[in-house]
């Protein structure tokens, strides 16, 4: 029988925010809710035909179809807010006159104004935080003005329920306040209108961030519901889609998997810097040599827009040992037995995916929450090493080679692998029936069904 509890989910339209909300949508549908995943025009064409039959997709305008000139970040955010507020209101009005009107909107925490739109139309709402709880807590302290910004060079920051953090462990926007003032406002304002919400959903799991989850829970009704990766990767017995279902980039599917099949167990360094980070040309050259000199096999994702930064002829010269692709099915890759470690920018999804699949990491954070994630990867979860930058902020080929070797063949690498497998087990337990994240999700579904 079709469920009468209808819920809308509204992601922020970048890959790292779409993936977790899409997977959470499927989870809600599997628990009996009727789910409409609301995408905006800029990503409409990327929904895969086989995305998921368990949820409905609807597209609303974000005004991007009318944009002619290059926009500043401020203009993009303002346009998005103004257009999506209007088109979301229209979508809700349309659904409100059907037999199964929506009751609730789960919106990306970067879009706090969506709560106002929902409430004006008689719906309730909750933010979905796509970054780890520790980073949310840091932004909350910044919102409370308990952190002096910009952070001072050499300072160390002590906040409740987390280790002491150096300036290079903090989210980049808090010290590099001049470069992205609008994004800084965005992340701090996630807490601007949450006085009376009943839920803050967060893509993490209790045991992974126990102290900070508890601290946040004493201030906010925060619930960890992750890791939001397809169940099939956590439990081979379960049926689920192998992909999230909405790729903004086209993966070189067969090429990657066939190439990995030819490699020995644990012999490949998978390297990716996610969907947004843009590295300098000098840095790309150092990575090239670091990978080559490590003498390991490597699979490196270099997005089309970044290929121009690769050393001349490198693509043609790539040997049997190395494969460069413009995008890959990352979950399937991380799950492949040939993968020995993941050299990563430490985006939160990549971090959670590696933890959940038991893959140790070489951390090379770039910006936003990534430095904090790297700190936890190394010092708290003990599943990786962090590449130290030289005085000019470059990760040199020698340092890259050293770190890769340490994780793939070193004594500490073995320890990291053991720890990774421990986190993999705990991630599975959290999502298993009755596990902490599963219980939180059940509670959410039950409350909605009875409201």
Using CB under 6 A, list all residues that contact ligand UDP: 15-16, 19, 272, 274-277, 301, 327-328, 330-331, 347-350, 353
Interior angle at CA 232, CA 231 and CA 237, nearest 5: 110
Q: How many residues in the chain?
A: 451
Residue among 40, 121, 119 nearest 87 (CA): 40
Min separation Cβ 94 and ligand UDP, Å: 31
Helix (H) or strand (E) holding 423: helix 411-431
Give the residue with the Cβ less far from ligand UDP, 47 or 402: 47
Torsion of CA 230, 236, 239, 241, to 10 degrees: 40
Q: Name the residue nearer to ligand UDP (CB basis): 331 or 338.
A: 331
Select 327 or 444, whichever has its Cβ closest to ligand UDP.
327
Tell me if residue 103 falls in helix, strand or coil. strand
Q: Where are the beta strands (DSSP E) in 154-238?
A: 156-157, 165-166, 200-202, 222-224
DSSP designation for 363: E
Nearer to ligand UDP, 15 or 36 (CB): 15
Q: What share of the chain is helix, strand, coil (3-state, %, to 5)?
A: 45, 15, 40
- Please report how close the Cβ of residue 255 comes to ligand UDP at its closest, in angstroms: 12
What's the min distance (Å) between Cβ of 350 and ligand UDP?
Answer: 3
Q: Which is nearer to ligand UDP, 16 or 322 (CB)?
A: 16
Beta sheet of 361-363, edge-to-edge order? 322-325, 297-301, 268-272, 339-344, 361-363, 384-386
Strands 156-157 and 165-166, by their bridges, are antiparallel
Q: How far is the CB of 283 from ligand UDP (least distance, A)?
A: 16
**SS3 (DSSP) at 23:** helix
Q: How would DSSP label each residue in 261-300?
A: HTSPTT-EEEEE-TTT----HHHHHHHHHHHHHHTSEEEE
Long-range residue pairs from 236-241, CB within 8 A, at least 24 positions apart, any chain: 240/26, 241/26, 241/50, 241/51, 241/52
Residues 6+ apart with CB under 8 A from 315: 307, 324
Cα 349 to Cα 222: distance, rounded to the nearest angstrom: 19
Residue among 212 and 328 whose Cβ is closer to ligand UDP: 328
User: What is the smallest separation between the CB atom of 449 and ligand UDP, expressed in angstroms?
Assistant: 29
Q: Dihedral of the CA atoms 192, 198, 202, 208 (nearest 10)? A: 120
Residue from 6, 62, 108, 345 carrying the catalytic annotation: 108
17 is catalytic: yes
Measured from the CB of residue 357, what is the shortest distance to ligand UDP in angstroms? Answer: 10
Which residue, 240 or 448, is less far from ligand UDP as judged by CB? 240
Closer Cβ to ligand UDP, 157 or 328, answer by number: 328
Of the residues 17, 95, 121, 141, only one is catalytic, namely 17
Active site residue 4: no
CB of 112 to ligand UDP, least distance (A): 19
Minimum gap (Å) between residue 14 Cβ and ligand UDP: 6
DSSP 72: P
Axis crossing angle, helix 281-294 with helix 397-409, rounded to the nearest 10: 40
Catalytic center residues:
17, 108
């Amino acid at each position: 029988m079709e469920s009468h509890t209808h819920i809308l989910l509204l992601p922020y339209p970048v890959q790292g925010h779409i993936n977790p909300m899409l997977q959470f949508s499927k989870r809600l549908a599997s628990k009996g809710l009727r789910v409409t995943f609301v995408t905006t025009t800029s990503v409409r064409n990327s929904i895969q035909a086989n995305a998921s039959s368990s949820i409905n997709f609807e597209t609303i305008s974000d005004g991007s179809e009318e944009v002619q000139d290059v926009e500043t970040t401020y203009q993009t955010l303002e346009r998005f807010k103004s257009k999506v507020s209007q088109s979301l209101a229209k979508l809700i009005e349309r659904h409100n006159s059907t037999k199964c009107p929506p009751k609730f909107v789960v919106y990306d925490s970067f879009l706090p104004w969506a709560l106002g739109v929902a409430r004006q139309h008689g719906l309730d709402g909750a933010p979905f935080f796509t970054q780890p709880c520790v980073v949310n807590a840091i932004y909350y302290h910044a919102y409370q003005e308990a952190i002096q910004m910009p952070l001072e060079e050499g300072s160390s920051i002590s906040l409740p329920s987390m280790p002491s953090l150096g300036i290079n462990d903090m989210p980049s926007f808090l010290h590099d306040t001049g470069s992205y003032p609008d994004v800084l406002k965005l992340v701090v304002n996630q807490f601007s209108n949450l006085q009376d919400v009943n839920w803050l959903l967060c893509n993490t799991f209790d045991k992974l961030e126990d102290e900070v989850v508890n601290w946040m829970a004493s201030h906010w009704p925060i619930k960890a519901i992750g890791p939001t990766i397809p169940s099939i990767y956590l439990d081979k017995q379960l049926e689920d889609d192998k992909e999230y279902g909405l790729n903004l980039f086209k993966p070189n599917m067969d090429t990657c998997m066939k190439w990995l099949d030819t490699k020995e167990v644990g012999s490949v360094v998978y390297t990716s810097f996610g969907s947004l980070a843009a590295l300098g040309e000098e840095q790309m050259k150092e990575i090239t040599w670091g990978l080559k000199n490590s003498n390991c096999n490597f699979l490196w994702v270099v997005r089309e827009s970044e290929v121009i930064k690769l050393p001349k002829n490198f693509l043609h010269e790539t040997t049997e040992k190395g494969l460069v692709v413009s995008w890959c099915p990352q979950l399937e890759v991380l799950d492949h037995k040939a993968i020995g470690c993941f050299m990563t920018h430490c985006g939160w999804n990549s971090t959670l995916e590696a933890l959940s699949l038991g893959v140790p990491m070489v951390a090379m954070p770039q910006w936003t929450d990534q430095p904090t994630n790297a700190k936890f990867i190394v010092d708290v979860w003990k599943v990786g090493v962090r590449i130290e930058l030289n005085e000019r902020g470059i990760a040199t080929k020698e340092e890259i080679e050293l770190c890769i070797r340490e994780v793939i063949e070193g004594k500490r690498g073995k320890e990291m692998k053991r720890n990774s497998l421990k986190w993999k087990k705990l991630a599975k337990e959290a999502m298993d029936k009755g596990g902490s994240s599963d219980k939180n999700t059940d509670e959410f579904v039950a409350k909605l069904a009875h409201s």
